[in-house]
Each structure stands twice: as C-alpha cells, then as structure tokens.
Amino acid sequence: MQYWRVYIMLCAYLVAAQPARAWGFFSHRLINRLAVYTLPREMIGFYKANIDYLTDNATRPDSRRTVVPGEAPRHFLDVDVYGDSAVYKLPRSYADAVALLGEDSLLRHGIVPWQVVRMKGQLTEAFRAHETDRILHLSADLGHYIADACVPLHATHNYNGQLTNQRGIHALWESRLPELLSSGYDFFTGPAPYLDRPTDVIWAAVGRSAAATDSVLRFERELTLKFPEDRKYGFEQRGNLTVRAYSRDFAREYHQRLNGQVERQMRLALRLVGAFWYTAWVDAGQPDLDKLPRSPSRREQERLALEAKQTAEPTTKAPVPGHEE
C-alpha cells in the first residue's frame, strides 16, 4: 500500500518541481526524497517529518565544492586510471589505499566509495548518540555521495567526454535526460534491504557505473554521426539565461539507445540510499526515533543558513582539482 502512495506522491512532486538551476540538483533532490519511502515503519515517521530538509539539502555537497577544501574528490572515482579491473583490486580500507597509492593520487582521482563507507560509520554513531542534527545532515550528505557513485561518468577520467570531443555529455546524461524524461520512470523499489556488507555494495555500485561508461560514450558518438550540428544542439531557457544545450530530439534518441539506463541507475541510487540509512540505524541498535526531536535545532538551522550564504558567494580561489561538474 505504502509504495502505491509513493507513486502518486512522486507524480505530484514531478509536476510541482521546477527545472533545477543546475542539472544534477533535480536528480539528487528526487533520490533523497524517494529514498525516505523505502524505510521501515520504525524510521519512516522521523524521516518523513524531515523530508523537505533531506530534499533541500541533497545538493549541499555540490554547493560547497568550491569553498570547502577536500570536498571535490568525494564525489567520484576515476576507476580507469588505475588499470583494468581496478575496481576489484583497490584496497577497501582508505588507510591501505593511501599506503599503496599515496594520498595525492587518491584525491586527484576521487574517493567516493571510501567516503560513503566513512559517512555510513558516522551516521551509525549519530544514531547511537541520538543526535537529530547529525542524523539529518549525515543522511542528506550520504544520500548525495551514494547517488554520485551510481552515475557512470563519475567513474571515469573522461568524465565529461573532454578526451573524446564529447564535452557536455556529463550534463546530458545526468541532468538533461532526467529533467526531460524521468516523469515516465518507475521508481518502485520495495523496502530498503539491510546491507551485511555495505563496503562491497558501494564498490559494486561503482563497478557497475564504470562498466556503463562505454555505452554512455559510444551511443553519443554514434548518434552524433547521424545528427548534423544544427540538429544536435539547440537553445534552452534556464531562468533568465538562454543556454546552448543538446537538442530535445538528440536527447530523446540518446535516451532511447540507453534503453532505460538512467532510470535503472536512479532506481539503484534511491534503493541504496534507503539501504544505507536503514543499515546505519540497525547497526546502531535500532534507537527509537520517535523519542528524538523531530526537526533540526535552531542552531543547526542557523549553521545551514550561514553555509548557504557562504557557498552562494562568488569565490576568488583557484578552481579545485577534480571533476568540474
């Protein structure tokens, strides 16, 4: 019953949602929001009471990329720079990875699976400590990094097709396609499962993303041969701006060739977000969430407002290393 309701609410949400300022914002918000409905009865009341918080703060890690040192590498892992089948061989412990590869290399090529595991541990601690503020902000952030791990172009050095003359493909896959076409997606995933081996699960997700990069890039290349330049691109209104973007025709045909890939990856992401939240709660001994304050404290709200102000201000710092998207 509960999941049918999700479906109806999702439709309402999609209708109400405005195209996001930056593309990935749309998907991140949706994934965190829908993940709430995968949770068990003991958790869903608390998470539902904060569903707007989890939605609105789903994009905070992206917003702070240019102002928080060390933030950028948390969103991706360029698996291909470490050679064939690296995803199976890289050390699962961050300390071992540093010892083997050096921290410079790790930070340059991304650390998303280690970041997810680290945050899962922090969220477990927050549940143990019964701290609403930490539970909420760690849940929102963790949802963001898990969703990033499910994006194929977050698992390759050629993350924006910059090495193969396919610049813009990152935003096409992750933004344009869901914004244009996700209203027909089926997001039914069933209840969040408990993860016996969360580390293996997030690494498997990165492996799946890495395996999908080939078709993501190849289909765009094949389609480009069919589309003359003036049909491949068009102009779109974004707020007050008119921007050049992949045309709707190109996006639709590309989407069709991908054969449900974006939908599958979004569904995987929201299922994993729910599963990691649930697993952290179980590992913390299943604390009674109904006894916690239902909303973030005033202090936390002030901190978030300050952070939003700081990340909104233009920065004069040099761009951070790593993927720019």
Positions in the binding site for Zn ion (CB under 5 A):
62, 75, 148
Q: Which residues touch 261 (CB under 8 Å, ≥6 apart)?
A: 152, 212, 215, 216
Nearer to Zn ion, 75 or 170 (CB): 75
Q: Do 146 and 199 touch, CB atoms closer than 8 A?
A: no
250 neighbors 232 (Cβ within 8 angstroms): yes
Closer of 78 and 148 to Zn ion (Cβ): 148
Question: For the stretch 67-92, what's the b/e string if a residue is b when 16 or more beta carbons lie within 10 angstroms of its beta carbon?
Answer: eeeebbbbbbbbbbebeeeebeebee
Min dist CB 20 to Zn ion, Å, is: 13
Q: Which is nearer to Zn ion, 144 or 267 (CB)?
A: 144
Which token pair is 266? 């979004």
Q: How far is the CB of 117 from Zn ion (least distance, A)?
A: 17
Minimum distance of Zn ion from residue 78's CB (angstroms): 14
Closer CB to Zn ion, 75 or 137, in the complex? 75
- Provide the 3-class DSSP secondary structure of residue 292: coil
In this complex, which beta carbon is closest to Zn ion, that of residue 75 or of residue 120? 75
Considering the complex, what minimum distance in angstroms separates the CB of residue 119 from Zn ion? 13
Shortest Cβ 15–Zn ion spacing (Å): 26
The nearest distance, CB 76 to Zn ion, in angstroms, is 8
Residue 312: CB atoms within 10 Å: 9
Cβ proximity to Zn ion: between 62 and 78 the closer is 62
Q: Which residue is nearest to Zn ion (CB)?
A: 75
Q: Residue 74 has what DSSP assignment?
A: G
Neighbours of 290 (CB within 10 A): 10
